[in-house]
Structure 1
């Protein structure tokens, strides 16, 4: 029996596990057996690889070929195992020497014409390979930029099976210079904050949300600027640091939403429609779940426009990720966990027709309709939203007097203040597991940080039911964000009162 092995990576969620692809030939009719808990796409790899080897003019084992994916108890999915399967089979017939196979990770899908095609999840797979001690990797030529984001790995790009044979024979294919996957952020397509007309109070609430990474809800009539403000939140958020950028890029690599392979350095914006399914929102799949909209918003913004139109069960599914920063999905073969530390922004109308806040009284909804509409957002979900902002209807002075009104501040101006406030919070929280105010635990807020002298305001609100126990911590976090924006080291009474007003939606 002649045997050989190669290495690839199985991805369960964002975490990768090294998989040894063992190949052995023996007596029996010429056929290929693939074992090791593969899914349908992977099981079909035996036919793809054999056709690709023949198209490249190479020899496939003429005996019974058994391919085992170890560990056999781990579910494996995807087409990125093709290269490792083909390499192990070619090593069995001495087409390639086994020398480099023991220290090289192979990722790539094979076409029937022997071309190597791009696959999802190259970045998280290579991060797992580096953590396991591998120093070399073979990837599709079109994904070299993404692969080079991983430091400490020698990466060889291959365009077809003949290129793979050259690399594994110690004759790496020479390619032209390829720049590193990092790029300077270009102009944002989300627009600028100075395009929002009026709404000074809502703009300030958005700045507070950005400075402390607080969740925020906008309530107002149609056309008053709720969606415009929400879409411009990423433009005033600080750029991602190196570690955060790799996390976000790995998530989007797994989801296939970053075809260029560049390092994502700006906070992402995820905007699912209210008709979204549970699987598309939270993540899902038949065997191993794929990331959903809330994971694609990791380290960025999840915007739910017309929030009451979302099914209640989808809104309630946000409760866990809002608290833990993770979404866990159970399946029959594996439990998948994805990162989901996002900033939630919700927008809603005051009633089904949207006219309840209009001073002209054009609303035609009955009180029961208004109550039913508002009740679609459950209390536990609303309690997890830090800031509640009521927006005023726009007047003719806003719409027709733009030439005489002062030009609003741009995103760059507001972003500078946000960065300064976050730096102040980071210095105060140095030595703790938290970096922004919204993440600080309630125990540390009450014991590790100085309290405001006017804390009796909170006690009174709590005793009269105007604040929940979670709301007390939310108010303290917002107050510290206001102090950071003001450049002070303690919470003033005015900041505590403003924090309570922002929390209760009383600033309009």
Structure 2
């Protein structure tokens, strides 16, 4: 007796349709599973056998073989339990194969036959829809997440017995709790109206968000660098549905999606501690998982106290910053995760944090140089905007009620307007932001006059601009012009962009 049902294996954030085949025949009683399986999947054999028996079904003492195809794809996790159980029961009970071949199954089974939630349901359902399957049967707690995908019937179930009843009756709906209380979708973001003073830094952050330019803030401890960075998501445009689905997929696979939660609509803000390991930042491990740079996809990755990070760890950022994705290779296979994020970083200018104020800073030149050299120049060169954060004046603390402070909502309006200008500019290109322009596009969209050319030439010589730095200045100047709704890049915009680069020469020159 033979049967086959569909399930989905995961590779990165993509799902791969997997056929779970069961063959039952006479012979010594056994339950074997093959098909490039991880230890977790192999262990499911005993779990499935107990779940079937405790659900009231009888397994005859025969030779049972379960194969998962394609055999060259590693199968991992507990999500295959339900498909294995249904496949074995379908072979025993001779269920309708036509109905089963149009249906995908995913879920972990407890020993009493309860169907428990699993990670990665969203990409599984997306893969099933793309493969032309008509329905997906999965655990009730994953129902709301799965319903984010249109065009495929989602059926929730709470037990193996319920699943078999649904299959035998060819039900069009499962039993799920629509009235259940779900996790609140979005939390209120910190607002820039709570930050008093620091107008220059707010301006730099607005430019960085408008053109997706990486930004580094240098300043004394307690000057407000972390507070400013935490408010960056509040001025970023809302995510499109496609962006939200991508982010939700990553969090679903990583097991970070709260049970009962649907679409993630708030842009991620990830701020890993400086003790983070390389696999935790980039992704990987014995079981390939997304790292912080992928969890920050479509949002912000904030590295506080940048020189305190392991140098080898943060050097891994250089390639993802250029390619907007990361491919992780292991013996058992490879996985590619998206990594398109805004990099924001903060650091003190020296070990004590007070340089260049020589009244307070007691570090000597060698100590300062050694501290700054913890961050390589090639990585620093990938920051389009480097700006100094100074402590606000004493008067600003007590006069904060007298001056109206701009809110994140006001800043976001200007950011969205600048983004719309860029979308129109690049409608025939494969990019969306000024920071993504190559040298040819930069020359085309950032035409400058003779005065501006002279200014750039002086900067190229005086602040030791590299070729990469030269083009980054022009990209930032293009974004500044967009925030002012100007068609041409003038000397004024280039001068401001140069100002955001000269800090590199000041500290690392």
TM norm structure 2: 0.94
- Indicate which of 454, 470, 473 corresponds to 1:475: 473
Aligned-residue offset at 1:152: 0.8
Cα distance 1:67–1:10, how it changes in 2: closer, same or farther (>3 A)? same
Q: Secondary structure at the match of 1:65?
A: strand
Q: CA RMSD, aligned part only?
A: 2.2
* Contact 1:221/1:357 (8 A) holds in 2: no
Q: Secondary structure at the match of 2:500?
A: helix
Identify the residue that residue 4 of structure 1 maps to in structure 2. 3
Are 1:146 and 2:175 counterparts? no
Distance in 1 (CA, whole Å) between partners of 2:372 and 2:232 is 25
Identify the residue that residue 119 of structure 1 maps to in structure 2. 118
Are 1:264 and 2:264 counterparts? yes
Aligned-residue offset at 1:31: 1.3
Distance in 2 (CA, whole Å) between partners of 1:180 and 1:295 is 31
Identify the residue that residue 297 of structure 1 maps to in structure 2. 296
Q: Secondary structure at the match of 2:501?
A: helix
Aligned-residue offset at 1:496: 1.0
Cα deviation, 1:362-418, whole Å, max 9, x if unaligned, reads: 2222221111110011011111111001011233212233234x1321111111111
Bigger shift: 173-182 or 264-273? 173-182
Identify the residue that residue 278 of structure 2 maps to in structure 1. 278
| Aligned ranges 1:342-357 → 2 under 5 Å | 342-357=341-356
Are 1:400 and 2:398 counterparts? yes
* Contact 2:182/2:261 (8 A) holds in 1: no
Bigger shift: 266-275 or 88-97? 88-97
Aligned-residue offset at 1:182: 12
Distance in 2 (CA, whole Å) between partners of 1:183 and 1:151 is 21
Q: Secondary structure at the match of 2:418?
A: helix
* Contact 2:185/2:263 (8 A) holds in 1: no
| Aligned ranges 1:92-491 → 2 under 5 Å | 92-94=91-93, 96-169=95-168, 170-172=170-172, 174-175=174-175, 178=178, 186-188=186-188, 190-259=189-258, 260-286=260-286, 288-358=287-357, 361-404=359-402, 406-447=403-444, 450-453=447-450, 454-463=452-461, 466-491=464-489
Identify the residue that residue 45 of structure 1 maps to in structure 2. 44
Q: Secondary structure at the match of 1:338?
A: strand
* Contact 1:358/1:393 (8 A) holds in 2: no
Aligned-residue offset at 1:279: 1.3
* Contact 1:182/1:263 (8 A) holds in 2: no
Q: Secondary structure at the match of 2:223?
A: coil
Cα distance 1:377–1:301, how it changes in 2: closer, same or farther (>3 A)? same
Aligned-residue offset at 1:177: 6.7
TM norm structure 1: 0.95
Aligned-residue offset at 1:44: 0.6
Distance in 2 (CA, whole Å) between partners of 1:174 and 1:229 is 47
Cα deviation, 1:428-451, whole Å, max 9, x if unaligned, reads: 111111111111222211135544
* Contact 2:54/2:111 (8 A) holds in 1: yes
Cα deviation, 1:225-247, whole Å, max 9, x if unaligned, reads: 10011000000000111111111
Distance in 2 (CA, whole Å) between partners of 1:219 and 1:131 is 47
Between the two proteins, the alignment pairs up a number of residues equal to 503
Distance in 1 (CA, whole Å) between partners of 2:180 and 2:158 is 19
Q: Secondary structure at the match of 1:431?
A: coil
Q: Which residues of structure 2 form unaligned runs of 5+?
A: none
Distance in 1 (CA, whole Å) between partners of 2:495 and 2:184 is 41
Aligned-residue offset at 1:255: 0.8
Aligned-residue offset at 1:96: 3.8
Distance in 2 (CA, whole Å) between partners of 1:394 and 1:507 is 24
Q: Secondary structure at the match of 2:156?
A: strand
